[in-house]
Amino acid sequence: MQLMFLGTSAGRPTRSRNVTSIALSLPEPQCGFWLFDVGEGTQHRMLGSKLKLNKLERIFITHLHGDHIYGLPGLLSSRGYFEGAGPLTIYGPQGLRAYLDSIFNLTGVHLGYELHVVEITEGEIIADDRFVVEAAELQHRLPSFGFRITERPLSGQLNLKRLAELGVPAGPLFGKLKRGEDVTLACGTTVTASDVVGKPHPGRVVTILGDTRPCENAVRLACNADLLVHEATFAGGLEEKAAAYGHSTFTQAAEIARDAGAKRLVVTHFSSRYDDEEVAELANGVKGIFEQIEPAVEMAEINVPRLPLTNS
């Protein structure tokens, strides 16, 4: 799993930063990706990346402020020009469907693929064979959501030596055992999956939050996450200003990561008053609160690796 930051600026673009969008590339064999927010210019940023719109599977909109959604209609329209663009589902706050319907009706857009818009509430919004995605409302000037993406565990590796000792023939029985099913051989011997399959490999957890003041749901969504993405619009010491606009400071983002027990924190959504050097200094300045903090960099990829498999 990898994250690419297609925009890291708050409110408006700058010469070096676009407005908010994050791509989450999924592991093999799917190799698709999800988008979290689609600020103006997102599809232009994608042209300089390996991301292709026909591989886009889902879009998550944290809230309806323009710097998070003004690029959405154009990107959806462009996706129709890509061969193999299948159905697409968008998840976001109430009002998202009316926003898109109004633009598409007024401009006569024909997408050429199925588009599903799901206006979310708090709780589990996706549960498939790969991932569980949970949403919770944060504290901002508009309804704003955060998302916790939990990868389902991978089954352990087969113990080929033990399978040979037990006389299990290669083929469909291997698949059943790997899925955790006990099997009975032609001779009548029952082979239990736990005897020939290693321990499951825990999935990764990535938490991506929309704009927010510090709040309990931010900590809950980020609990023990492998990676937390949290906004840091203002420098520490500007907490009163941040609260007035529904945002957080670098200090507050570090405190959320610490309180949640997250393993790693990437901050983004920087005020245009700070250049890249100042952003780096602000992040370094709160390492006493949370050591594993780093600022997001435009178009940079951040890998979320698996821990090595451990077999029983």
Give the phi and the psi of residue 194 in degrees, each rounded to 5: -65, -20
User: Do residues 110 and 96 touch, judged by C-beta distance below 8 A?
Assistant: no
> Among this protein's residues, is 276 annotated catalytic?
no
Catalytic residue, chosen from 67, 128, 195, 276, is 67
Confirm whether residue 68 is marked as ligand binding: yes
Buried b (16+ CB within 10 A) or exposed e, 65-100: bebbbebbbbbbbebeeeeebeebbbbbbeebeebb
Residue 299 and residue 308: Cα distance in Å, rounded?
28
d(CA 125, CA 58): 12
Residue identified by tokens 């609990």 is 223
Cα–Cα distance, 41 to 10 (Å, whole number): 14
Each as own residue / partner, the long-range contacts of residues 174-183 (CB below 8 Å, 24 or more positions apart, any chain) are 179/155, 180/155
Please tell me whether 201 is known to bind a ligand. Answer: no
In angstroms, the first-to-last Cα distance of the chain is 25
Please give the full DSSP string across 68-93, using - where no structure is assigned: HHTTHHHHHHHHTTSTT---EEEEE-
Residue 116 annotated in ligand binding: no
Residue 110, annotated as binding a ligand: no
Q: Report whether 269 belongs to an annotated binding site.
A: yes
Show binding-site residues for Zn(2+): 63, 65, 67-68, 140, 211, 269
Catalytic residues: 67
Show binding-site residues: 63, 65, 67-68, 140, 211, 269
